[in-house]
Every structure is written in structure tokens, then in C-alpha cells.
Amino acid sequence: MASTDGETADIVESRPALASLAIIYCKGLAMGAADAVPGVSGGTIALITGIYERLIGAVTALDPFILAEIPTLHRTENRREFYNSLVGMDIPFLLALGSGMLTAVIILSRLVQTALSAIPGPTFAFFFGLIGASALVLAERRWLTQIGPMIAGVVGFALAFLVAGETATEAFPHTLPIIFGAGLIAISGMILPGISGSFILLLLGQYDHMTETLNDFIDEVIGIVSGGVSDTLIDATAVVVVFMIGAFLGLFTIAFIVRAALARYRMATFAFLVSLMLGALRYPAIRMRDATDEFTMAAIGSLAVGLVAGTGIILLLDRYTDDLDYDGDAVK
């Protein structure tokens, strides 16, 4: 009877934890939806939903060397210690959040690919509105009065403007080393407020390719049930795996570098990131132009609708988001 009572107590105690993880999953859905489109930051959604500090703490606490303990898990005491280590790193939180983000990305990637195929001009106008409005609401006038942020802003704008011009003309290939580098850098954007991982992929000319590849991968995995393994599955799997490896390594390299820069040169770093977004507007502008055969009133109207929609989403998010703190800069 005592054991039954104990089991009942464990079940009752687990309900709040399960409910909490379900809420975290839903917040992950919102973050994934944001990160699936360029311009909207999952980090901003994390701020809105009140989990940003916990997310940064959990990512920072990750210790890949814990995998070395797996061969010792045949012992009960080692399994208990391993479990406690995972809980200490807030792995359940990251798994619930990551599952929600992945679900949203899979769903929205299909919608984005359809939109890019059916209405590329208005879709890139939508991206233009998202990115441009994000940069404007994050910008600070005082950056123009201090030498450090001014230099960082000029460098960020020039870098993005040049790269966007190259990627818009398909100069960047979709080779595995490039995909690896894209994953390495994009993951840092996915956990920063104000700049999204999809924006970084767009800037590097990999957004369309990764969206299409992810959809191909999902279709082929589902198709395994009714058929064999195809060349498309092999190619798509290679791209997805290489991207994920790059993203995983980026969590322990690029993301830490960006966070260190924010801690020491906060104002200049944000000036660089925001100017990066402004310079990158060249990419959707070129794609809008190329996707529009004639600038008739109907074509201009459809572009305007996409632009207003993208801008409106950012302004709505900005209304319910606390302003970012740029104080505490080490370099004025």
C-alpha cells in the first residue's frame, strides 16, 4: 500500500512538470515560427514570453563532455547521476523548447516554399518589411554620437550590402562546406533578440535552398514507408546533417563569441547587428525586382501588401516587447 501511495505521489508531482513542459513546447512553437522567416527573431519571442534568460542560461550550461558518461550507464548510481546532470543543465526545458521550434519550422517551411514559388515578389516584399522594420525599431540615435558604435555600424552595413549583392546573383554555392558555415553562424542568430537565424541564411544565400531541402527531406522520410531509399533522400540528408553539425558546433563557438561581445561591447555589437540588417535589405530588394516582370499598378499593389504585412508584424511585436538595454558598454 505504501508503494502504491508513493507511485500516486510521483504521478501527481509529475503533472505540474508535464504541464510546464507543454507550455514551454508552445513557446517553442512561437519561437520556431519567428525563426522560420527572415527578420523576426526567436530571441525576441523568448523575451516576450519570459524565457530568454532561462534559454541563455541553459545554452551556456551545456557540457558536451557529459556524453563520455554514457558507457557507464549500466550502473544504477551512474544513471541517477547522469539524470541529475541533465536536469542541472535544464535539458528537459531545451528538449521541449527545441521540439516546439522544430515543429513550427517544419510546418512553416512548407508554406514559405509555396509562397516563394507562387508569389516570389510579394514574399520578398514581406521579408523586406520584416527585416527593415526590425532594424528600425532596434536602432538607437545615440549610436551616431559615439565613435565605437558608428564604426561598427558602418562595417556591418558595408559587409551586409556587399554580401547581399553577391548572394542575390547566386554567387554563393550550396556546397556542404558553405552549408556547414551557414549552420555555424545561423544558430547564434536564433538565440539573439533582434536578428534571426533565417535572416542570416537569407544573407548567405542559403535560405531558399535550405527551405526546399528540408521539405524534400521530410517528404522522402515519409516516402520510405511506401518505397525505398532514393538519391534525393541521401542528398537531402547530407545537407540537413551537415547543417545541424554546424549549428551544434556554433552553440559552443559563435554563440559564445557573440554573447561575449554583447557583454563587453554591447552598444557597438548591437549597432553592428542592426546595420547588418539594414545593409542586407539589398537582397530582398533585388529579388523583388527580378521577380516582377512589369511594375504595373497590380504588381506594385501586391508588393505594397507584402511590405505592409511584414512591417505590421514587427510593429505589433515591438509594442509588446521590452526595449533592449544597450547600457553597460565597455567602449563608449
- Which of 14-28, 155-169, 266-280 has the weakest average pLDDT? 14-28
Angle at 255 between CA 319 and CA 196, to 5 degrees: 35
Cβ atoms of residues 233 and 117 within 8 Å:
no
Q: How many other CB atoms sit within 10 Å of the CB of residue 291?
A: 18
| pLDDT digit string, tens, across residues 114-154 | 898 899 999 999 989 988 888 888 777 777 788 988 999 99
* pLDDT value for 260: 77
Helix orientation angle between 176-190 and 254-264, rounded to the nearest 10 degrees: 40
| pLDDT digit string, tens, across residues 86-122 | 888 888 999 999 899 989 988 888 888 889 889 999 9
Mean pLDDT of 286-314: 90
Classify residue 327: in a domain, yes or no.
no
- Rounded CA-CA distance 150/161 in Å is 16
Q: How many other CB atoms sit within 10 Å of the CB of residue 205?
A: 22
Mean pLDDT of 305-325: 79
Mean pLDDT of 62-81: 82
* pLDDT value for 75: 84
**How far apart are the two ends of the chain, measured CA to CA in Å?**
68
Cell numbers representing residue 107 in the block: 510546418
HEC string for the chain: CHHHHHHHHHHHHHHHHHHHHHHHHHHHHHHHHHHCCCCCCHHHHHHHCCCHHHHHHHHHHCCHHHHHHHHHCCCHHHHHHHHHHHHHCCHHHHHHHHHHHHHHHHHHHHHHHHHHHHCHHHHHHHHHHHHHHHHHHHCCHHHHHCHHHHHHHHHHHHHHHHHHHHHHCCCCCCCHHHHHHHHHHHHHHHCCCCCCHHHHHHHCCCHHHHHHHHHHHHHHHHHCCCCCCCHHHHHHHHHHHHHHHHHHHHHCCHHHHHHHHHHHCHHHHHHHHHHHHHHHCHHHHHHHHHHCCCCCHHHHHHHHHHHHHHHHHHHHHHHCCCCCCCCCCCCC
Classify residue 330: in a domain, yes or no.
no
Classify residue 209: in a domain, yes or no.
yes
Q: What percent of the chain has pLDDT over 70?
A: 85
Query: With the CA atoms of 274, 276, 279 and 285 taken in that order, what torsion angle do they form, in degrees rounded to the nearest 10?
Result: -90
Classify residue 286: in a domain, yes or no.
yes
Classify residue 162: in a domain, yes or no.
yes
The total number of structural domains in the chain stands at 1
Classify residue 328: in a domain, yes or no.
no
Q: What percent of the chain has pLDDT over 90?
A: 16
Q: What is the mean pLDDT of the chain?
A: 81
The residue length of the chain stands at 332
* pLDDT value for 302: 93
Task: Tell whether the model's pLDDT for residue 13 goes beyond 70.
Answer: no
* 170: region left, alpha or beta (phi > 0 left; psi from -120 to 50 alpha): left
- Rounded CA-CA distance 277/203 in Å is 9
Classify residue 329: in a domain, yes or no.
no
- Per-residue confidence band for 321, with pLDDT thresholds at 50, 70 and 90: low
- Rounded CA-CA distance 239/220 in Å is 14
Classify residue 325: in a domain, yes or no.
no
User: Higher-confidence residue: 220 or 256?
Assistant: 220
User: Higher-confidence residue: 10 or 238?
Assistant: 238
- Rounded CA-CA distance 15/11 in Å is 6
- Per-residue confidence band for 171, with pLDDT thresholds at 50, 70 and 90: low
Of 183, 185, 179, 170, the residue nearest 235 (C-alpha) = 179
- Rounded CA-CA distance 156/163 in Å is 11
Domain containing residue 78 = 2-319
